Amino acid sequence: MTNQTALKTTKEPFARVVKKAEISGKKVALLRIMAFILAIVAGGVFILLIGENPFAVYGTIISGAFRSAMAFQGTVKIMIPLLITSLGVTLAFKMKFWNIGAEGQIIMGAIFASYFALFHDTLNHGLLIFIMFVAGIIGGGLWGLIPAFFKSKFDTNETLFTLMLNYIALHIVSYLRDGPWMDPGSQGYSKIATFSKNAMLDRVFGVHIGWIVAIILTVVVFIYIKYTKQGYEISVVGESHETARYAGMNVKFITLRTMFLSGAICGIAGMIQATGSDKTLTTAVAGGVGFTAIIVAWLAKLNPIMIFVISFLFSILEKGSSVLQSSYGLSTDCADVLQGIILFFVLGCELFVRYKFVFRKKGGA
Residue type, 337: V
Extended beta strands in the chain, E state: 15-19, 203-204, 207-208, 355-359
141, 150, 164: which is closest to 259 by C-alpha?
141
CA distance 59 to 65: 10
The predicted structure's pLDDT at residue 362: 65
Q: Is the pLDDT of residue 339 over 90?
A: no
Q: Is the pLDDT of residue 344 over 70?
A: yes
The predicted structure's pLDDT at residue 224: 97
Confidence of residue 35 (pLDDT cuts 50, 70, 90): confident
CA distance 183 to 195: 11
User: How far is C-alpha 51 from the chain's CA centre?
Assistant: 33
pLDDT tens for 289-336 read: 999 999 999 889 899 999 999 999 999 988 888 887 778 777 767 777
pLDDT tens for 97-123 read: 999 999 999 999 999 999 999 999 999
pTM score: 0.90
Confidence of residue 18 (pLDDT cuts 50, 70, 90): confident
> Are 306 and 99 in contact, with CB atoms under 8 Å apart?
no
Residue 17 dihedral angles phi and psi, to the nearest 5°:
-105, 120
Helical spans, DSSP H, in the chain: 3-9, 25-49, 54-66, 69-94, 102-119, 125-154, 158-178, 210-227, 229-239, 241-246, 251-272, 289-299, 304-328, 332-354
Strand partners of residue 357: 17
pLDDT tens for 214-270 read: 999 999 999 999 999 999 999 999 999 999 999 999 999 999 999 999 999 999 999
CA distance 320 to 79: 13
The predicted structure's pLDDT at residue 191: 93
> Residues in the chain, how many?
365
